[in-house]
Amino acid sequence: MLRSRLETVEAMLTEGQVSVVRGGKALLHKRNNLDAAGLSAEQWRTVWEAERLFICADGEADKRLGNETIRWDPVEGSVEIRLPASLGHLANRTHGRYRLSAPARFPHRGDELAAQVAGGAVRYDVSFDAARRRWYLDASWKQESGWHPTLDDLRRLPILAVDVNDGHLAAWVVTPDGNPAGQPITVSLDLAGLSADARDGHLRAAISELIRTAKAHACGAFVIENLGFTQARTEGREHTGRRPSRGKRGRAFRRLVAGIPTAKFRDRLAQMASNAGIAVIAVDPAYTSKWGAQHWLAPLNHQFSTEVSGHHAAALTIGRRGLGQRARRRERCDRTRPEDRERRATDSAGQPKPPNGGLAGQRTRKDKTREARGQPHQAAQDPTSRADTSCQTRTAKTVRAVPSAPISRN
């Protein structure tokens, strides 16, 4: 069937006869059969004119909000249309733009559209529904297939490791050999008390700043933790392991979990990074904070002038894990400055040995007299000492046990 239809279209093109039906072929069939369609001529013409009332504009990735002709602001929900020169006197915004009086919302996949306009192209179609007497705005975009690198290819390039926390993002650029490059990065992400749209907007702004940083350092990928609190949110107040369940600590823990947008951050970063041509690597989150504080925090604070927090050390551990290297530092394998070598050699010295290199002499243990529990400790007896020797007792820490005078033995 498709081949026959193709042959018909090719024959029409060869003859120079192309049939174009404004409004669609289905609407033309209704005009020829008004009784069967249940429409009058006036009603049919109203529908036909509504089908012709549309505006469409293809997207442009290098333009603001992904389109130069039609723009939708995800924060305000406003829609602006750039008017032609002949209608420039009707503009109510600068640069010949007209803002519609009613805002537009996208209940279905609106968050994905908001992430797309941050760095990609979006096509918009404005259409009119004659039956409902409403205008509709449709948005569509194309996912870039682009370059699909392997994990080995990404590990040959610098990466930007990100540690997601409550109120901020801690990040650090890590070179392919596993060393930090530049200063630690902190991106504010305070989402407490904000609406859902405002939280999503702040999240997109933070990710945009990360993308700019990654491009400035020629990073090939982001490395994040494959972290989620789905189980903790599902269980609610049920106590699991060492996680607090009730009381002040339980409320603080649930507030902390609710303030970390792990799933939203992962999804938005994957979409916006794909538009920017940057890959995303998710690693196991086990022990990243613990090993970062144990193995990396002190050396990083010693090396960098900027104050390094435990979250930055965790970000470095995440980056090293994404590069396929050890998360923990090997002892005494880091390079040190010449002025630190003497101090480090002293700190890393082993147990002292006897001067002659042999075994140490045999130790003798002095005999001690066992006393009843609670009695003052007496000094060890010396066989050469006299029998009437008196000894001083150690002053006790409790008032009731303080002796008034030295105790002498008969």
Give domain status of residue 388, yes or no: no
Which residues in the chain land under pLDDT 50? 237, 239, 340-341, 344-360, 372-391, 396, 398-404, 408, 410
Q: What is the pLDDT of residue 385?
A: 45
Give domain status of residue 263, yes or no: yes
Whether 47 and 64 share a structural domain: no
Give domain status of residue 187, yes or no: yes
Whether 62 and 99 share a structural domain: yes
Q: What is the pLDDT of residue 2?
A: 80
Give domain status of residue 200, yes or no: yes
Whether 122 and 184 share a structural domain: no
Residue 27 is part of which domain span?
21-52
Of 331, 364, 390, the one marking the end of a domain is 331
pLDDT in tens, 145-193: 556 788 898 999 999 999 988 888 999 999 999 999 989 999 998 887 7
Whether 279 and 235 share a structural domain: yes
Domain with residue 220: its CATH number is 3.30.420.10
Q: What is the pLDDT of residue 384?
A: 47
Contact 237, 245 (CB under 8 A): yes
Whether 249 and 201 share a structural domain: yes
Whether 197 and 118 share a structural domain: no
User: Beta strand 123-129 with 54-57: parallel, antiparallel or unpaired?
Assistant: antiparallel
Give domain status of residue 407, yes or no: no
CA dihedral 397, 398, 399, 403 (to 10 degrees): -70
Give domain status of residue 383, yes or no: no
Q: What is the pLDDT of residue 320?
A: 93
Give domain status of residue 40, yes or no: yes
Calpha distance 274→402 (Å, rounded): 77
Cα-based angle 285, 304, 172 (whole degrees, multiple of 5): 35
Whether 212 and 223 share a structural domain: yes
Whether 102 and 183 share a structural domain: no
Q: What is the pLDDT of residue 160?
A: 95
User: Beta strand 79-82 with 70-72: parallel, antiparallel or unpaired?
Assistant: antiparallel
Calpha distance 156→67 (Å, rounded): 35
- Decide: helix, strand or coil at residue 162: strand
Sequence letter at residue 62: D
User: Any residues with CB less than 8 A from the CB of 293 and at least 6 apart, and which?
Assistant: 310, 313, 314
pLDDT in tens, 350-409: 444 444 444 445 555 556 555 544 444 444 444 444 444 444 555 545 444 444 455 545
Q: What is the pLDDT of residue 210?
A: 93
